[in-house]
């Protein structure tokens, strides 16, 4: 039976160690879109998941503005954060358009969409490492892909199942499950910002 260690209630900021405060400030700089999450408890759990990922990762916050978003495209010219923030924006705008035109027949939780898009690739912090100045797949990443490590991080931090489902289902692994509406939105946003790069010549 799998056991998940849930995070403790967050401490007051005045009690945080200095390094923890700096990491949290870095996360806020990386992710201004966190403020789009209306539910304060969910916003805190999403932030804590990124914090936990950095605690376990060889990567530092500044690395995400330098490394490619994928190792599947040789010489990929787009960084991790450029791709990820694009996916979050596409997801939000898509969800808003669907709510505007189909909201009477299709219920969409916008906070779930945004949180899921922000967390979809958090597991890559455990899948990647940097060697000789280049991002490469870590030994852990060769065995456990980021949808799995992402869900593990999120569940440890108490992220709701509806958001964990998006993390689990955003990549090809999700083709084996029945995706929620919110998961479909993030999945397609992610591939919209990925597949065109497979056809480019560099």
Residue-wise pLDDT for 68-81, tens only, equals 999 888 889 999 99
Q: Which two tokens stand for residue 176?
A: 């084996």
Residue 199 has pLDDT above 90, yes or no: no
Q: What kind of fold does domain 16-199 have according to CATH?
A: Hypothetical protein af1432 (1.10.3210)
Q: What are 174-184's pLDDT values in tens digits?
A: 888 999 999 99
Nearest Cα residue to 123 out of 156, 91, 145, 155 = 145
Q: Are 51 and 27 in contact (CB under 8 A)?
A: yes
CB 129 within 8 A of CB 59: yes
For the chain, give the mean pLDDT: 89
Phi–psi pair at 41, nearest 5 degrees: -65, -45
DSSP state string for 5-70: -PPPPPPPGGGS-HHHHHHHHHHHHH-GGGGG---HHHHHHHHHHHHHHHHH-S--GGGGGTSBS-
Closest by Cα among 127, 140, 122, 119 to 71: 127
- Reported confidence tier of residue 200, pLDDT bands at 50, 70, 90: confident
Question: Given a cut of 80, is residue 13 above it in pLDDT?
Answer: no
| Distance separating alpha carbons of residues 39 and 41, to the nearest angstrom | 6
Q: Residue 30: is its pLDDT beyond 80?
A: yes
pLDDT tens digits for 150-170? 999 999 999 999 999 999 999
pLDDT at 3 over 80: no
């Amino acid at each position: 039976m799998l056991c998940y260690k849930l995070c403790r209630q967050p401490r007051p900021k005045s009690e945080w160690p200095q390094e923890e405060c700096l990491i949290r400030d870095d996360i806020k700089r990386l992710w201004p879109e966190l403020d789009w999450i209306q539910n304060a408890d969910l916003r805190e759990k999403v932030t804590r998941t990124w914090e936990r990922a950095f605690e376990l990762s060889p990567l530092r916050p500044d690395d995400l503005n330098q490394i490619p978003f994928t190792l599947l495209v040789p010489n990929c010219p787009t960084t991790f954060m450029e791709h990820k923030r694009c996916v979050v924006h596409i997801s939000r705008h898509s969800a808003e358009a669907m709510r505007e035109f189909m909201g009477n027949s299709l219920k969409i939780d916008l906070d779930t969409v945004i949180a899921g898009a922000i967390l979809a690739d958090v597991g890559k912090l455990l899948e990647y490492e940097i060697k000789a100045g280049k991002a490469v797949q870590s030994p852990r990443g060769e065995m456990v892909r980021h949808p799995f490590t992402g869900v593990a991080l999120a569940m440890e931090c108490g992220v709701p199942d509806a958001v964990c489902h998006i993390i689990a289902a955003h990549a090809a692994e999700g083709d084996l499950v029945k995706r929620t509406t919110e998961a479909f939105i993030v999945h397609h946003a992610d591939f919209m910002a990925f597949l065109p790069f497979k056809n480019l010549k560099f």
